Structure 1
Amino acid sequence: MTDRALAVVRAGALTTVQDQGRPGHAHLGVPRSGALDAPAAALANRLVGNPVEAAVLETTLNGCTVRPRSVVTVAVTGAPCPVTVGGRPAPWGAPVRVPAGALLDIGPARAGVRSYVAVAGGVAVDPVLGSRSTDLLSGLGPPPLTDGTVLPLGRPDGVHTRVDVVPHPGPPSELVLRVTPGPRDDWFTASALRTLATGTYRVSSASNRIGLRTDGPSLERAVSGELPSEGMVLGAVQVPPDGRPVVFLADHPTTGGYPVIAVVRGADLPAAAQAVPGTPVRFMVVRRR
């Protein structure tokens, strides 16, 4: 068995393999998937000398523990968390050398939700439709990690970056999501649109990689009944029967029958990946130009 591998000792609450996802397959019913906090994943890759498309590990809330079978260089970004190598503290947000057989522990997030672990050479599981990403909705890609999983690694082809400071925003204390109304905003009352723009919402504990659910006031429908199933895009703000907005994230379904009142600007979605349950959410309506 190759010595370029990681053995998973503690998988954590939810740790998956993620890269830039598999765009371009929505017509086949395949979501994009990919790292929810794409800038954090890209930064981790940069720190270890990987191309931006290399696969990384995405942890959720309580991190994970792995043991490399050979000397590796790693970097942890995203949600700030304690990092140890062989029981000794190691830096977060910087390249770290991990000896063969040493335990690399990524601890619980001190703030935010998801941390990203890049290994020089990348995680080299077999790609599916051009991506190594785990898709929780469709089941494509490798399954979520479990204790004892062994992940193959690629060969490093770059030089890791030497840094003193990581220029990456921290998790949001308030999640501000700029939204463009439509395509089905006419299915809602004028008061519903005002509520979306001024209402007090918070991130629900039921949120996941498929969608960020919110707790707060319901949005009143002007049109009863349901739509025929239609295409859904990343960032769509869908309103299910309970009236509380759901923001579609990377593993979202490609079609749906509940009306979409607005769509979130793509630049605001990485912060949604790091918003812990209870975080205030403000929808800022930006009209089409």
Structure 2
Amino acid sequence: MSTCATASRDLDEPLAGTAATARTWLLVEQSGPWGAKALTSSHLDPEVGRALEKAAEGTGVRVALIRRPGRHADCYAPTRHQVYVAHTLPGRTWLRSEVTDDPRRLLDLDFTALGAGDHGGFGTPHTGAPLALVCTNGKRDRCCALLGRPLAAELAAAGEEGAWEITHLGGHRFSPTLLVLPYGYAYGRTGTHAVKEILAAARAGRVITEGCRGSSAWERPGQAAELAVRTSTGEETAEALTVVDTEGAAPRWEVTVAHSDGRSWRVTVAQGASRPPRPESCGAALKTPARMDVVAVRQASASVAQGASGRRRP
């Protein structure tokens, strides 16, 4: 039986503008099995999971569970939990880590501040390899397990110390899906060789656009617009581009993308429908998922002041 990932790949569904949106990621290690809603259906205390979900609502913070690739039997549940917090807004990116024996302590964090880019002194700066987070949660969609778990295992076997499994990145039909931190770029339909190149680029502060779904720092129109500017200019520096303004509403937006050197571009993005119908998840009804199509990329005549935060205007 065909999977949702097979259908999406065969229909050449575009990847740009499909990344999960999060200015800040809070990742909590929790081995053992994961349910479809992992924060409340894993060995993490479900009361803590529910409280973390509630604390993150509307703050720009996305909470997910992670675990090392490999076996996940109950007896391997750790007494200590690795925690990462990453902020992905260009020019202000950071990745910090801490180990805790009580995830309940994370409820003391100021989630509003985290979403705005203020870590409040949490943990210590992460100085290791970029994090390669592969979605493997087969309880949400079997493609994530069938395609994601082998990829995560291959990365770990190849010595990628930043390789982790993660509970959910959205877009099951683009499996195997990957999020790279600290810069927050998501990828789809990734193979081991491609991921190694992506991580090598991230270590050098660069972004590879092939297979990229977009930066989680932006809403979907901004993701597509920023990638379009990268493609048209050949810009690879990770923190060079910022989405400073988004005007309009579905199905059409005008997005302003600024470069750190003062240049800027106006990008027209239109929302279309992916046809013919296909399943967005395995076993789901056939639908025509929204897609972000870049209609035009035009360099602006005047520079756009830096320091804007990707605001949207109706």
TM-score (norm 2): 0.26
Mark the structure with the bigger radius of gyration: 1
Q: Which has the higher contact order (CA 8 A, sep 6+)?
A: 1
Which has the larger helix fraction? Answer: 2
